[in-house]
């Protein structure tokens, strides 16, 4: 039966209803650095930190793809472990919002 008509017994598994899924808008580190460069003042000192509130910009999570060389202070609801490590290595800080 399974060989000739694999869909005989119906579909398997569970599909989450769309109403239960949370909308997550993510940003990678490479995009975060581009935003930080655009928003930073033209004349800044070498050790000056740039502050970004990604929650107000509509982002809910930072992912660790790419590199960041600027020391930024980021406020965001969620952050991956890789992104946290890379931002701290660059001299920045991450403030996550605890729910």
* CA dihedral over 86, 68, 88, 77, signed as positive or negative: negative
> Interior CA angle at 24 toward 18 and 29, to 5°?
155
Over residues 71-86, the mean pLDDT reads 93
Please report the pLDDT score of residue 20 as a whole number: 66
The CATH number for 76's domain is 3.100.10.10
Instruction: Write the pLDDT tens digit of every residue in 12-68.
Output: 667 777 766 678 899 999 999 888 888 876 555 556 678 899 989 999 999 999 999
Read off the pTM: 0.70
Domains: count for the chain? 1
Residue with more model confidence, 15 or 77: 77
Least Cα distance to 80 among 98, 60, 99 occurs for 60
Please report the pLDDT score of residue 99 as a whole number: 47
Residue with more model confidence, 64 or 99: 64
The stretches of 5-80 forming alpha helices (DSSP H) are: 29-39, 54-57
Question: Is 8 inside a domain boundary?
Answer: no
Q: Would you say residue 98 has pLDDT above 90? A: no
Question: Is 13 inside a domain boundary?
Answer: no
Instruction: Tell me the residue range of the domain where 57 lies.
Output: 22-96
């Amino acid at each position: 039966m399974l060989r000739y008509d694999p869909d005989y017994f119906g579909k398997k598994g569970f599909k989450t209803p769309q109403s239960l899924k949370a909308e997550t808008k993510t940003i990678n580190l490479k995009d975060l650095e581009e935003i930080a460069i655009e928003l930073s003042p033209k004349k800044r000192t070498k050790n000056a930190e740039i502050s970004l509130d990604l929650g107000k910009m509509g982002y809910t999570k930072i992912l660790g793809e790419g590199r960041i060389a600027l020391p930024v202070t980021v406020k965001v609801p969620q952050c991956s472990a890789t992104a946290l490590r890379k931002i701290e290595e660059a001299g920045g800080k991450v403030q996550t919002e605890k729910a």
